[in-house]
Amino acid sequence: MFYKHWKKILLSLCAMLWSGCSDDSSSDNPSTGNKLIACDLEQMCPEYGILYDCENEEDKIAGNYENCTMSYPSCSNVYYCEDRVNCWEYERDGEKSYDCHDRQENSFELTEDEFKSKYYVERERIH
pLDDT per residue of the chain (127 residues) written in tens, 0 to 9: 556 766 666 666 656 656 555 544 445 555 556 789 999 999 887 767 777 778 777 777 777 777 788 777 777 899 999 999 999 998 878 889 999 999 898 999 999 999 999 999 988 776 5
Residue 83: which residues within 8 A CB-CB, separation 6 or more? 37, 102
Rounded to two decimals, the pTM is 0.56
The radius of gyration computed from the CA coordinates of the chain, to the nearest angstrom, equals 25
Contact by Cβ (8 Å): 27, 117: no
Distinct helix (H) and strand (E) counts, the chain: 3, 9
